[in-house]
Structure formats: structure tokens, C-alpha cells
Amino acid sequence: MKGKIKKVVVIGPESTGKSTLSELLAKHFNTEWCAEYAREYLLTNGTDYTYNDLLTIAKGQLKLENTALQTVENNGGDLLIIDTDMYVMQVWCEYVFGKCHDFIKEQITEREYDLYLLCNIDLPWVKDELREYPDEGPRIELYEIYKNILQNQQVPWVDISGNYEERLRKAIDAIKK
């Protein structure tokens, strides 16, 4: 019988390689990864989102995470890679709207994770139809917000920087530890 499923969350500002890293880690460790629900939601519903849309996105993210966790459990696995969690939703709410839904804050305190991988902004920004902050100023500001959050919570975390290959190597090493 396997032990508790370890949950590793990949977070950081947009265009920092979170989804790519999550997928590569899942392949490396032969496990599931939970994609970012916001991408699917915004591609379906458009990018003119509201504060209440962010609550819908948060709930969709949690549903995806629960489904992925169940799949890992059913497959007898012991690791789940998660692209985005409620910290990301909190930052998004507060950065764009200056407030955060109580539900998101409650989920932050209720959910348990084993490791955070914070993707640094040292990769070049890549334009796509969903990204909002191409300028260096907001990217630095958002990275510092995430870093501050991680420094002020109890779960271990690792800064992931470098090119894609270096990021993958650092992330694999962090998970193995």
C-alpha cells in the first residue's frame, strides 16, 4: 500500500513556464498533473472577466484538482503535480480587483500541499491571447507578491529559475528531496 499522495504546486506570474513545467514533471515522474482551469474558462467565456468569474474559476480549479487527485489514488500513485492553486487565485483577485473572495481564503487554509515551486520571471514573456502583463514592472511586482506569500507560510518552497532544462532539473531535484 502506498502512503499519502504528495501534492506539488507550481505557481508564479503568467508566462513563467508553469504549465510546461507541470506537464514535464508529470511525465518525468509518470503521474498526473492538474492543468490550470482559468485557461479553459477564459478561452470558452472570453477574457473580459469579472470578480465573480474568478470565484467560478477557483471552484473549477479545485474540481480539476480533486479529479486529478482521485485519478492518482485510483492508479496507486503517490504524486500529483498541480499547475496553480488558491494562492494564485488570491493574488489574481487582489491584484485586479483589490479584494478576494472569502471562499478562496478559506480554501487556502483548508487545503494541504507538500511543496511549492515558484517560477521566476527570468524566462522571456511569451504573448498569447490570455496574458495581461507583458511589461517588466508588473511581472516583478507579481513575482515578489508570490515570493512574499511563500515566505510567510509553512510549506517548503523552491525558486525555479533558468532555462526550461534548468527549471526541470531544479524542480525534479526539489521533488526528490
Is residue 12 classed as helix, strand or coil in its secondary structure? coil
Give the predicted TM-score (pTM) of the model: 0.92
Domain that includes residue 143, residue range? 6-176
Instruction: Strands of the chain (E only): list them.
Output: 6-11, 32-34, 79-83, 115-119, 157-160
How many structural domains compose the chain? 1
- For residue 1, being part of any structural domain is answered with no
- For residue 145, being part of any structural domain is answered with yes
Query: What is the chain's pLDDT, residue by residue, as a tens digit (177 residues)?
Result: 356 999 999 999 988 889 999 999 999 999 999 999 998 998 899 888 999 999 999 999 999 999 999 999 999 999 999 999 999 999 999 999 999 999 999 999 999 999 999 999 998 766 655 555 556 788 899 999 999 999 999 999 999 999 999 999 999 999 999
DSSP state of 117: E
Query: CA–CA separation, 76 vs 68, rounded Å?
Result: 12
